[in-house]
Amino acid sequence: MTFRPLNEFIVKVSSRCNLNCNYCYEYNLGDHTWKTQPKTMSEQTARALGRRIAEHAARHALPSVFVSLHGGEVLLLGPKKLDAICGILFEEVAPFAEVQLSMQTNATLLNEHFIEVIRRRQIAVSVSVDGAKAAHDRHRTDHRGRGSFDRVARGIELLSRSVPESFTGLLAVIDVANDPIVTFDAIASHGVEFVDFLLPHHNWDSPPPRPNGDPIAYGQWYWELYKAWTSDRYPDIQVRFLANIVSQLAGGTSIFEEMTLAPATLITVATDGSLEAVDSIKSTASGIQQIGLNIDKDSFDAALEDPLISIRQAGEAQLCSECRACAFKNECAGGYFPHRWGRGGGFNNPSVYCTDLFWLVSQIRDDLAARRRKREALLHRTAH
């Protein structure tokens, strides 16, 4: 098998978080590996990481690389160490490839000192918020059980006011108990142009809650979101989950790593420099993401040989037989990799959200066809 080189590096600069979100795959879905990780990445490890990225970029003539700082909570580093790590990565990698830095944060610790680092290092920042205050605070609490919405909202306001060019969007985990339109309205109130609405991490061993056993509850939630998104309600907001389905149905390329047959070219780096498969598979079994490699002794090319990395570059071959026979295999792509997990078949299953995704893609396909027929009829009348 010919591998695609890696160009996106999910860097865990912190293994701890100041929040205790009940759906978090890092801490609350059964993984315990964080307990033995350094609390933050050292500058020495950051330099070793930078050199490995530079080595990989030079070997494969990569024009650019994407480095996404994750946690835990990134801002637990403090502004000085955040700035130092960013500087080290630029110093090591920039002679070989353009470095595009981003960060996922809960924004509760954001202050003017961090803003200055974000501005100087040109870090693209995405913030996690789950919609309206009550909905957000139901899941995203601190370690004392207090809701975090007000602190997050203050951070978003500071970010959008101080460095709007760095504020790239919001990320929300959906809860079908929440009204999708109320949720969308709350997200839009932050003045954002880009949002991800993500499915919560469940699998066949830990299936998602379904009100009244509804097999398409999540699909219907997204469908209501889609109808609002395609109306004149918020024409300037891109919803990546939905935009990806539309693009795929129209014969375009995927813009969403979670639903694509295109080769995945990302890897996770833990605070101690360990190389790991996509971090969200921690939601399936403790330690499953570990592949036994570390930047101190191993190259990124070596990681490409690991089955958990290489399978996500296998295109249609990574899908189970049921998904390969599905009419929507390109649009759904088997669903997100961790959501396929079941102890009987590992990841060789359809997504636990299969019924939702099939129904949703069908609805969007039919809607796009109806819109196309309407446009064609209008053009025909205009021509005559």
Amino acid letter, 324: R
Looking at the domain that runs over 8-313, which CATH code has it been given? Answer: 3.20.20.70
Instruction: Check residue 145 and give left, alpha or beta (phi > 0: left; psi -120 to 50: alpha).
Output: left
Nearest Cα neighbor of 8 from 210, 233, 265 is: 265
How far is 292 from 307, CA to CA, in rounded Å?
A: 12
DSSP state of 38: -
Average pLDDT over residues 314-328: 95
Read off the pLDDT of residues 259-283 as tens digits, 9 standing for 90 and up: 999 999 999 999 999 999 999 999 9
**Structure-token match 């959501």, residue found:** 339
pLDDT at 60 over 70: yes
Confidence check: pLDDT of 1 > 80: no
The per-residue pLDDT for 354 is 98
pLDDT exceeds cutoff 90 at 373: no
Per-residue pLDDT reduced to its tens digit, 3-47 = 999 999 999 999 999 999 999 999 999 999 999 999 999 999 999
The pLDDT-based confidence of 376 (bands split at 50, 70, 90) is confident
Give pLDDT, residue 253. Answer: 81
Q: Residue 374 — very low, low, confident or very high, per pLDDT cuts 50/70/90?
A: confident
- pLDDT score at 380: 66
Position 13, amino acid: V
Is pLDDT at 350 greater than 80 in this prediction?
A: yes
CB 159 within 8 A of CB 166: yes
- Inform me whether the pLDDT recorded for 384 exceeds 80: no
Structure-block tokens of residue 350: 């359809």
Assign 83 a pLDDT band (cuts: 50, 70, 90).
very high
Summarize pLDDT for 125-155 with one digit per residue, the tens.
999 999 999 999 999 999 999 999 999 999 9
Going by C-alpha positions, the residue among 20, 21, 24, 35 that lies closest to residue 272 is 35
Conformation bin of residue 315: beta by default, left when phi > 0, alpha when psi is -120 to 50: left
Task: Give the pLDDT score at 233.
Answer: 86
- Convert 141-180 into a string of H (helix), E (strand) and C (coil): EECCCCECHHHHHHHHHHHHHHCCCCEEEEEEECCCCCCH
Q: Is the pLDDT of residue 255 over 90?
A: no
Residue (of 218, 21, 194) closest to 108 by Cα position: 21
SS3 347: coil
**Tell me, what's the pLDDT at 181?**
97
Q: What is the predicted pLDDT for the residue at 317? A: 93
Spatial distance between the Cα atoms of 115 and 183, rounded to a whole number of angstroms: 27
pLDDT at 377: 77
Interacting residues of 49 by C-beta distance below 8 A, sequence separation 6+: 9, 11, 41, 89, 269, 273, 295
Cβ atoms of residues 48 and 296 within 8 Å: yes
pTM of the model as a whole: 0.95
Non-local (6+) Cβ contacts of 73 within 8 A are 14, 16, 17, 18, 19, 105, 106, 108, 109
DSSP string, 285-329: STTTTEEEEETTT--HHHHTTSHHHHGGGSGGGGS-HHHHTSTTH
Token code pair at residue 78? 């403090």
Q: Where are the domains of the chain?
A: 8-313, 318-383
For the stretch 102-115, pLDDT in tens is 999 999 999 999 99
3-state secondary structure of 45: helix
What does pLDDT average to over the chain?
A: 96
280: nearest Cα among 219, 335, 361, 242: 335
Percent of the chain with pLDDT over 90: 91
Distance (Å, whole) CA 149 – CA 155: 10
Q: Given this model, what pLDDT does residue 119 score?
A: 99
- Pair of tokens at residue 131: 């919609």
